[in-house]
Structure 1
């Protein structure tokens, strides 16, 4: 099954600190995985945050493999795991909910960081769980780092595959010509049907490298049916373009934030990434003693290409989190 069926899907206000907080909403889903042995001793919440241009269901295969692995380990028999995933306000189901007001020219990665904090606060995760761990890819991961910088101890740990972090701020005109930024506006965003879309993607670079379940989720849940009988991307291509353009400050901010880390953070670099430079891995790691990293096979889209390769990395970060400060935080 490519898509996990949530036990709860709800919508919450975006962060009150951000533009249009009075009218925009975030769609959040919850997946509950009960402890196989009672009574429950520990409750751990994971928050999964997607990359720019994608949506929460793209991470479902990774979530599925992660819980399957945890459930094979006896030390977690009395641990309740709840996974939360949400769509950025201009992506996925959130974009559909905000359709009439989705466009905010000033929307930044810091705003997305505040929305990430909003999910934690609105759903009272710190109050209801012993630990809160973030797993964020690319734009989603960088926003988690920014959130932790602005509000330390928001998370108990972060596992970040391929964050977009850089100490370089490229000139504006040069950024405009960057292939992913320039290409976002040119990408096709509407097809006659999902079958037509699949045929258009079949065998093409980028799409052919995605895990079959991830590609299936992109086509099934990253698009919506229009009144005209076509299917269209839930994330408008202008929104994807603007998120890329805004990323230059968020990326540099995330890099500078690494030095202030007070929680375990594990960054995963992909050897064939063209979005982040694996050659900078050691420089990134040197920013904080709280930071570990790993190099895996794949491209910037490794969570979508080979989700299984990331499961041991998530497990390692989780073990680090639980080993700190005498184990788990008490909760009511």
Structure 2
């Protein structure tokens, strides 16, 4: 576990944006000077896990991170289901608040797909996109699609069984620090996940429960298979596709196929896997700086 980054500081401002569908989108503003970097998280995480990366870039950029609906402090409108369009709307709400056309989007997994969905819905919103192993299945054979369906079904089952409640944040942290993939998170990133990814419960002053419920997480994994992938070839802004050298074969290959679809060379980060932004904020921030700033 990487430990050289500074501990997560609670200093930041919070923006709450009301959407017509009843969703309140929460954006965390980590400050900084320069172009706006909008960070978008993976399934089950939240905007605060980007804080260790943002801390390394605030001297060159204005860093902000959104909580997608059902994650962190962003609500899900009563009676609504999470969809690609809704996730894209969350990203657009954040980007529009900070000014369209000059915002640089940085997305991880689900976050990368949400960024692509947003740019397709409102072309010109982003100056460029940096997508780390985005959940965008393209160029797949029938056999690969069947493999994706099996992976998705497995993730749905895993998410549905995920433990949602702990006796305290300390107990939650002790649980995650011993179990992959979060055992590989840099200390500040894991602390951020636990500190801001849980809410207090009414019946116990110490107990906490996940803000992103197992049901929400499972529904997102299911949507990846059954919803059409964003048509990335229709995006006109520059795109960087990145992958981890230590990622699972499926995730690594998916990023390579996406890069091939866009006729660009993928960027490979050495020594990290699918959760690179949390595993090595220093390495990830350096890559974003190189390709986006």
Match of 2:106 among 126, 131, 135: 135
Instruction: Name the counterpart of 2:268.
Output: 295
Q: Is the 8 A contact 1:90 1:102 kept in 2?
A: no
Partner-residue secondary structure (3-state), 1:266: strand
Q: C-alpha separation between the residues in 2 aligned to 1:280 and 1:188?
A: 29
When structure 1 is superposed on structure 2, of 165-174 and 182-191 the one drifting more is 165-174
Q: Is the 8 A contact 1:164 1:275 kept in 2?
A: no
Q: Does 1:266 align with 2:266?
A: no
Partner-residue secondary structure (3-state), 2:35: strand
Q: Does 1:93 align with 2:93?
A: no
Instruction: Name the counterpart of 1:180.
Output: 155
Instruction: Name the counterpart of 1:324.
Output: none
Q: C-alpha separation between the residues in 2 aligned to 1:275 and 1:236?
A: 28
Q: Is the 8 A contact 1:159 1:313 kept in 2?
A: no
TM-aligned CA distance change 1:139 to 1:124, over 3 Å: same
Q: Does 1:10 align with 2:15?
A: yes
Q: Which residues in structure 2 correspond to 1:202-241 (within 5 Å)? A: 202-229=177-204, 230-241=207-218
Residues 17-45 of structure 1: CA deviation (Å, up to 9, x unaligned) = xxxx1x221111223224xxxxxxxx411
Partner-residue secondary structure (3-state), 1:133: strand
Which has the higher Rg, Structure 1 or Structure 2?
Answer: 1
Give the C-alpha shift of residue 132 in structure 1.
0.9
Give the C-alpha shift of residue 214 in structure 1.
1.0
Instruction: Name the counterpart of 1:317.
Output: 291
Q: Does 1:283 align with 2:239?
A: no
Q: Is the 8 A contact 2:152 2:225 kept in 1?
A: no
Residues 121-180 of structure 1: CA deviation (Å, up to 9, x unaligned) = 2x1512xxx721001111011111122223221100011112112134846994586322
TM-aligned CA distance change 1:199 to 1:318, over 3 Å: closer
Q: Is the 8 A contact 1:26 1:86 kept in 2?
A: yes
Q: C-alpha separation between the residues in 2 aligned to 1:118 and 1:139?
A: 17
Partner-residue secondary structure (3-state), 1:247: helix
The alignment's TM-score, normalised by the length of structure 1, stands at 0.77
Residues 298-324 of structure 1: CA deviation (Å, up to 9, x unaligned) = 2211111112111232112224xxxxx
TM-aligned CA distance change 1:278 to 1:288, over 3 Å: same
Q: C-alpha separation between the residues in 1 aligned to 2:239 and 2:186?
A: 26
Residues 267-295 of structure 1: CA deviation (Å, up to 9, x unaligned) = 11112323843235443223235x44211
Q: Which residues in structure 2 correspond to 1:20-39 (within 5 Å)? A: 21=21, 23-34=22-33
